[in-house]
Amino acid sequence: MTQAHAHMGPHQPAISDEAYQERLDRLARHPALGEQFTRVRPGEFASMQHLLLGVGAVGLGLTVVGGFVYDIRHALAAYEIGVLAATAMGLGALFFVMVFHMTNAGWSVTLRRQYENLASMLPICMAMVAVALVIEIVSGGVLLRWIGMDPHSDHLLHHKSGYLNTTFLVIRFAVYAGLWSFLALRLRGWSVEQDTSGDRWLSRRCRFNSGWGLLAFALSTAFFAFDFLMGMDFRFYSTMWGVYYFAGAAFSSLAALAVMFAFLKTRGKLGELVESEHLHDHGKLMFGFTVFWAYIAFGQYFLIWYGNIPEETAYFIFRKTGGWAILGQVLIAVHFFVPFFLLISRVPKRNPKVLGALAFILIAAHVLDMVWIIKPAVGASGELAPMSWWVDVAAVLGVFGVLGFFMLRAASSVALVPMKDPRMEHALEHCNYV
Amino acid sequence: MSDAQMKPGTWARDIAMALGTYVPGFARPPARFVSERGQPVHGIVGEFATPAAVYHAAEKVRDAGFKRWDVYSPFPIHGMEEAMGFRRTFLPLLVAAIGFSGAGLGLLFQYWVSAAAYPLVVQGKPYGAWEPFVPIMFELGVLPSAFAALFGMLMLNGLPRFHHPLLARERFLSVSDDTFFLCIEAEDAGFDADRIRSLLEGAGARSIELVEDDA
């Protein structure tokens, strides 16, 4: 151990450098870690990437068209449905990467690189959110209507104006973007660096940064959700809101990654590295966060329903009238009951293709959740065009297409698993036994 | 119950056997086989020297179609569940059935009390409002589920028990040290002493003995 590492841990590691080198040599010879399973040949996914980029370009183009057919509210809402759903996926992936580092998880090592790739979409998501933020500020409040309002015109807004002002919003956004980009890119960067160097102290550094990172993540995610979702109705407040967004983030990131694993497995990648055993546990997390979302979503609704305070209930009352009530019931069905009964059995969790197919339902549920939050806010600020749903579809496909392109590019540029992770052998032998 | 209704491997016999073993005042059904000394037969046990030997013996016993038998080892043997042909337990279905009935009963009783039997206006909420029912439905779902999982598991694996016929044998005690045993029980529908003896001999058992149930 060099002096530079002295501050980072015990002076004597559990196994000597020679023994550790032997472990790396064993890994280097391991047939499962062969080039054909862990590397994407240049251009191997090109057709899928071009397809995704095409869908992305057409989708985002149609979103702009939607802005002219209807108005900027409809287009921006559609765009934010896509962007905030995708941001949630990146955040969930970042959360799991940090949890895996913090808990020194062995089973998930062969999965972790894809989590890192998805988390590394956060800087792109932040750029997309920045576009929305600029539009909001330039047009004086489209969905975040408080931006264009005189604080003295509303008592509650005046009361909250210390927090709800444009300058502070931009500062906060810069903090979120900087923090998440740093964590996502550095945790992936150190992991990729370890692929070649095999330096086990990089794992230690990841764990150290995951510690404060998780705390900062919890706070920043909550406030991001307050700013960009709850802020659409400045009178409404819910202390559960951050947890609600986080629950959707964890839920949707796992679904997106299940699709990614199914895609890689069907293309002959990963082989024995990601087998039924790993996907079984990945599926258990999907099931767990299905229940977690239902638990906190109901908890939030339940307390507001019981408390019966007008500023809080207005949010739900508006979403329980007209067509929104049906949407809300569909949301409860596809975000909780359908995944609950599909994922409770072990059989679908152990089959990559079935799990990947089910994950599309979960992704759809998450997008629907964003629709249910954001779309009524359009109606609250004026007439809602009933046929404008095609803009939402276009924008969601557009954003997901662009990010899918970058996700595949990220996956192709590095190894598909952390090749020299100290815990790799645990993951290779991972077994559920029951 | 007559003997005809108490065929080996049936639920009726299993329940009668469990009652006779654990509940005072109940008699166990008569033993299917009796040893030369007149004692009921628990089963036939084969002794093996290595994990590999008992593993392959287990595969043979599985393929011979036996259902009531077990392998005893000082440590877990990797892959033994496949060698023994374990089927998945139906415990999850039991838990689901009890959990969902619990939640359903919770809903039914609360709705009946608050909307039909004794309607009370609480905080101006509607009588049949589903929201306050949910926490109690949840509790009545998870608590019986947990009980079903714990007690169902104990019911299915026959624990706790204070004695086991194999433990009365001096030679069996080395199972906690360096010896591996495979015991086919007399409760198995296909129990046939000669057949089992030749099966275990063929599988390489270094000694084969009849185990009496001395309880």
Q: In chain B, what residues touch A298 (CB-CB under 8 Å)?
A: 134
The CA distance from B56 to B49, in Å, is: 12
Each residue of A278-317: pLDDT tens digit? 999 999 999 999 999 999 999 999 999 999 998 899 999 9
Tokens of A132: 């929305």
Most confident of the following: A90-99, A267-276, B29-38: A90-99
DSSP B40: B
pLDDT of residue B23: 82
> Which member of A302, A344, A433 has the closest CB to residue B131?
A302
Q: In chain B, what residues touch A306 (CB-CB under 8 Å)?
A: 123, 131-132
- What long-range pairs does A163-169 form, CB within 8 A, spacing at least 24? A164/A231, A164/A234, A166/A137, A169/A133, A169/A144, A169/A227
pLDDT of residue A3: 47
Q: In chain B, what residues touch A433 (CB-CB under 8 Å)?
A: 81
| In a domain? residue A4 | no
pLDDT of residue A388: 85
Please indicate if any CB of chain A lies within 8 Å of the CB of B82.
no
Domain residue ranges of chain B, discontinuous segments joined by +: 1-30, 91-157
Query: How many other β-carbons are positioned within 10 Å of the β-carbon of residue A403?
Result: 24
The answer to whether B81 contacts A433, with C-beta atoms less than 8 Å apart, is yes
Please indicate if any CB of chain A lies within 8 Å of the CB of B134.
yes
Instruction: Provide the mean pLDDT of chain A.
Output: 92
Nearest-Cα distance to chain A for B90, in Å, is 12
Kindly indicate the confidence band of residue A366, based on its pLDDT and cuts at 50, 70 and 90: very high
Nearest-Cα distance to chain A for B210, in Å, is 33
Q: If DSSP states are collapsed to H, E and C, what string results for A74-122?
A: HHHHHHHHHHHHHHHHHHHHHHHHHHHHHCCCCCCHHHHHHHHHHHCCH
Domain count, chain A: 1
Q: In chain A, what residues touch B96 (CB-CB under 8 Å)?
A: 344
Provide residues of A within 8 Å CB-CB of chain B: 298, 301-302, 305-306, 308, 344, 433
Stretches in chain B below the pLDDT threshold 70: 1-6, 215
- CB-based contacts of B171, cutoff 8 Å, min separation 6: B47, B179, B207, B209
What ipTM was predicted for this assembly? 0.78
What's the order of all strands across the beta sheet hosting B207-212?
A: B69-72, B180-185, B41-48, B207-212
- CB-based contacts of B34, cutoff 8 Å, min separation 6: B40, B41
The CA distance from A361 to A251, in Å, is: 11
The CA distance from A1 to A341, in Å, is: 51
Q: In chain A, what residues touch B135 (CB-CB under 8 Å)?
A: 302
pLDDT of residue B29: 84
The CA distance from A327 to A235, in Å, is: 23
| In a domain? residue A320 | yes
pLDDT of residue B28: 83
The answer to whether A305 contacts B134, with C-beta atoms less than 8 Å apart, is no
Q: In chain B, what residues touch A344 (CB-CB under 8 Å)?
A: 96
pLDDT of residue B203: 92
A47: left (phi over 0), alpha (psi -120 to 50) or beta: alpha
**Dihedral angle over CA of A285, A291, A297, A300, nearest 10:** -110
Task: Give the end-to-end CA distance of chain A in Å, rounded to a whole number.
Answer: 41
Q: Are A137 and A144 in contact (CB under 8 A)?
A: no
Report the residue of chain A nearest B87, measured CA to CA: A434
The CA distance from A389 to A58, in Å, is: 16
> Which member of A302, A308, A344 has the closest CB to residue B134?
A302
The answer to whether B131 contacts A433, with C-beta atoms less than 8 Å apart, is no
Tell me what the mean pLDDT of segment A400-404 comes to. Answer: 96
Amino acid at B120: L
pLDDT of residue A1: 43
Q: Select from A306, A320, A336 the residue whose CB has the most chain B CBs within 10 Å, as the one to mutate to test that interface.
A: A306
The CA distance from B121 to B127, in Å, is: 7
pLDDT of residue B162: 79
| In a domain? residue A15 | no
> Which member of B123, B124, B134 has the closest CB to residue A298?
B134
Q: Select from A296, A298, A300, A431 the residue whose CB has the most chain B CBs within 10 Å, as the one to mutate to test that interface.
A: A298
Report the residue of chain A nearest B77, measured CA to CA: A433
Please indicate if any CB of chain A lies within 8 Å of the CB of B123.
yes
Longest pairwise C-alpha distance within chain A: 71
DSSP B88: P
- pLDDT over 90 for what percent of chain A? 75
For the packed helices A166-197 and A72-102, what is the interaxial angle rounded to 10 degrees?
40
Tell me what the mean pLDDT of segment A403-429 comes to. Answer: 93
pLDDT of residue A43: 87
Report the residue of chain B nearest A302, measured CA to CA: B131
pLDDT of residue A9: 55
Query: How many other β-carbons are positioned within 10 Å of the β-carbon of residue A244?
Result: 22
Each residue of A182-204: pLDDT tens digit? 999 999 999 999 999 988 899 99
Please indicate if any CB of chain A lies within 8 Å of the CB of B126.
no
Q: In chain A, what residues touch B132 (CB-CB under 8 Å)?
A: 306
Residue B71 host element (H or E): strand B69-72
Nearest-Cα distance to chain A for B206, in Å, is 30
| In a domain? residue A21 | no
Nearest-Cα distance to chain B for A322, in Å, is 19
Report the residue of chain B nearest A308, measured CA to CA: B123
Q: Are A27 and A424 in contact (CB under 8 A)?
A: yes
Please indicate if any CB of chain A lies within 8 Å of the CB of B132.
yes
Q: Are A117 and A188 in contact (CB under 8 A)?
A: yes
Helix (H/G/I), strand (E/B), else coil: B34: strand
Tell me how many residue pairs between chain A and chain B have CB atoms under 8 A apart: 13
| Range with the poorest average pLDDT among A20-29, A382-391, B1-10, B65-74 | B1-10
Please indicate if any CB of chain A lies within 8 Å of the CB of B131.
yes
| In a domain? residue A58 | yes
Please tell me the pTM assigned to this model: 0.88
pLDDT of residue A8: 54
Each residue of A137-173: pLDDT tens digit? 999 888 998 998 888 888 989 999 899 999 999 999 9
Report the residue of chain B nearest A305, measured CA to CA: B131
The answer to whether B131 contacts A305, with C-beta atoms less than 8 Å apart, is yes
- CB-based contacts of A112, cutoff 8 Å, min separation 6: A97, A100, A191, A417, A418, A421
Above 80 in pLDDT, residue A86? yes
Domain that holds residue A155: 43-428
